[in-house]
Amino acid sequence: MPYSTVVDKPLRIPDAFSMDNDIAAQSQAAFLLYAGILFKPTHILARYRKRPPDPESVPPEDLESLGIPPDVAKMGIEVSPENLLLTELINEIEKENALSPGTISGTLIGQPIYAKPISELQTKYTVQFFEIRDAQSLLRLLAVSLHHSDELVRVAAAISYLDAVDGFFIPHPTFQGDMERLVSILALGTASKELLIRDVAATALARILPEHPALVPLLQNTDYGGEGEPAHTSLIIHGTWARTASWWQPGGDFHTYILQSVDPSVYSGSDRFEWSGGYSDQARALAALTLTAWVQGKGLESPDFFAHSHGANVVLLANQAIDIGRMVLLACPVHPHKYWPNFGHVNRVVSVRVRLDLVILADRGGQRFNHPDIIENVLPVWFDHSAPHEPDIWIRYDVPTKI
């Protein structure tokens, strides 16, 4: 069922674990996704880590609003390989909580358990982690959350558990099967009808296993657009997985809103720019080259851009070769060492985003640019990666006056 409520205030952790509603599920997912950033591998695991995420990439005021102690971001939680055996960990959880054998272990990893012990154990291990800051409490929290009734919570827990393992292979009879189950949670999530679940799951799956077949359907093209009259000063650029979406194309809700209420010169031709929407640096680099050639081929001078998610990073790459007027970055995952404005060739850079964007948490990118030449407009909305391109949000929070 779609998350219908715009979250203007999260539920605090650990209180959220005792509640059962959309806001509670999204608040839980935010903390579980953040938990994966905190793991610091031991020396034997460190060589397998590709790019350690930065816990401080999440604004401290957002963590505080979620109920996370501010000093948590300053620490790394060391995890050893022997502690990552999921089946063994679940068996230990049952024993130490005097649960009947099979209460949790009798259900396949990733399948929901509609029972009170799950929320009680989530609360217990969160409080325990806040008190002693240990890997075992955090891993136990993730393990029981894999059986939560809400798919978003299960997906978030699977992502952070996989990040704790970080590609390391443990020679144990249950290890491979456990990892396959965690991956299957993400694969199933990519087919969710709930856009937030789909994007969180697909973003993490592509980051962890970029060749997984569950990602292929998300890259297929569907043309929703009409001919329209081409204009020549601004473009809307979609993000990862969104090539098939209608919102950015002529006739789509966001395109129509921008055209009618914000910028009547937005490009509406049938030959509009689009890219694969693939989740990789290579896909974005190719898209940037194609975008550069497209702009130059049209003879556009300093066009404006409204670019969502990693589509914004495509524009940042293209900005190294083309002049841009106004660059409006919508929910852009911040990776400053790879994607950054060419400030000498852009007139204005505006970032529009929500607080604790769950998809950016799954991406392990930064939530803010933190640069004086980039105007940050943080909407009073939590978690929703799609909110920055929703017309209702633009109207409700008067976004046009802030860009």
pLDDT (tens digit per residue) in 143-195:
999 999 999 999 999 999 999 988 777 888 999 999 999 999 999 999 999 99
The answer to the question of residue 261 being in a domain is yes
Enclosing domain of residue 139: 15-216
Q: What is the CATH number of the domain that holds 255?
A: 3.40.50.1820
d(CA 320, CA 227): 30
* Residue 53 and residue 110 share a domain: yes
Contact (Cβ atoms closer than 8 angstroms) between residue 356 and residue 383:
yes
* Residue 255 and residue 152 share a domain: no
* Residue 190 and residue 272 share a domain: no
* Residue 173 and residue 25 share a domain: yes
Q: Indicate if the pLDDT at residue 224 is higher than 50.
A: no
Contact (Cβ atoms closer than 8 angstroms) between residue 49 and residue 166:
yes
Q: Indicate if the pLDDT at residue 225 is higher than 60.
A: no
* Residue 268 and residue 224 share a domain: yes
* Residue 378 and residue 297 share a domain: yes
The answer to the question of residue 7 being in a domain is no
Strand partners, 324: 346
Phi, psi of 30 (to 5 degrees): -60, -45
Q: Which residue, 216, 245, 279, sits at the end of a domain?
A: 216
- Amino acid identity, position 287: A
* Residue 226 and residue 211 share a domain: no
The answer to the question of residue 3 being in a domain is no
pLDDT (tens digit per residue) in 40-98:
766 555 545 555 556 567 899 999 999 998 888 777 788 888 889 999 999 999 999 99
* Residue 259 and residue 247 share a domain: yes
Q: Which residue, 189, 216, 243, sits at the end of a domain?
A: 216
The answer to the question of residue 134 being in a domain is yes
What does pTM read for this prediction? 0.92
* Residue 251 and residue 193 share a domain: no
Give the total number of structural domains in the chain: 2
* Residue 159 and residue 113 share a domain: yes
